[in-house]
Amino acid sequence: MIENQIDTYGYLAILIGTFLEGETILVLGGFAAHRGYLHLPWVILMAFIGSLLGDQLFFFLGRWRSQVFLARHPVWNVRIEKVHRLLERYRTPLILMFRFLYGLRTVIPFVIGTSTVPTVRFIFLNALGAAVWAASVGAGGYLFGSALELFIINIKQFEAHVFGLIAVIGGFIWAGHFFAAEEPVTNS
């Protein structure tokens, strides 16, 4: 049952999941590759494409629609100021590494789109960062499967539970960041 679902929808789920945020889905994809349901190079490629396209979308939203979007979501103003300060000090490293800053992955490309960073420069650095992120997180999920096998000899009987546990943990982390971001900011 789980094998059929992963075989049928696995790569598409990785593409869509990494378009939106992606760490949990990519770890699951790496784990599925370790278990033999998916192929790790394809997992990494789908994560690269999804991440690259999602971040480009947020960059172009920032470039072309920032005023409209910020009028509707004023809670983002605090985050935007933080990212602008980071961008002033660490422009290239920030563009390369923002995917590793959980909870800011959609905000940072949007803010970079509102800045003076040239589009071509962002596309190049974004592609490079997406490749590093997809390879490292995907391989991390794959290695997690290897480490898990050291502790659980017959992992086959527990793999559905492991997939579920990874998804639940990722969901809790995402929900924590999502609800923390929605809290109104007050000045003391």
Q: Which of 61, 58, 34 is nearest to 138 (CA)?
A: 34
Q: Which of 42, 24, 3, 11 is nearest to 156 (CA)?
A: 3
Instruction: Return d(Cα 159, Cα 33) in angstroms, integer.
Output: 12
Residues near 16 by beta carbon (within 8 Å), at least 6 away in sequence: 50
User: Is the residue at 46 inside a domain?
Assistant: yes
User: Is the residue at 149 inside a domain?
Assistant: yes
**pLDDT surpassing 60 at residue 180:** no
pTM: predicted TM-score of the whole model, two decimal places:
0.75
- What's residue 130's pLDDT? 95
pLDDT more than 70, % of the chain:
73
Instruction: Return d(Cα 77, Cα 58) in angstroms, integer.
Output: 16
Q: For the chain, how many structural domains are there in total?
A: 1
User: Is the residue at 187 inside a domain?
Assistant: no
- What's residue 125's pLDDT? 96
The predicted-structure confidence for 6-19, as pLDDT tens digits, reads as follows 666 678 888 988 88
Domain span including residue 18: 2-182
**pLDDT surpassing 50 at residue 186:** no
- What's residue 65's pLDDT? 86
- What's residue 40's pLDDT? 94
**pLDDT surpassing 50 at residue 187:** no
- What's residue 77's pLDDT? 79
User: CA 67 → CA 27, 62, 70, 76, distances in Å?
Assistant: 35, 8, 5, 12
The predicted-structure confidence for 111-167, as pLDDT tens digits, reads as follows 899 888 999 999 999 999 999 999 999 998 888 777 766 655 555 556 566 666 666
Asked if 35 contacts 145 with a C-beta cutoff of 8 angstroms, the reply is yes
- What's residue 146's pLDDT? 72
- Band of residue 44 on the pLDDT scale cut at 50, 70, 90: very high
Please give the mean pLDDT across all residues of the chain: 80
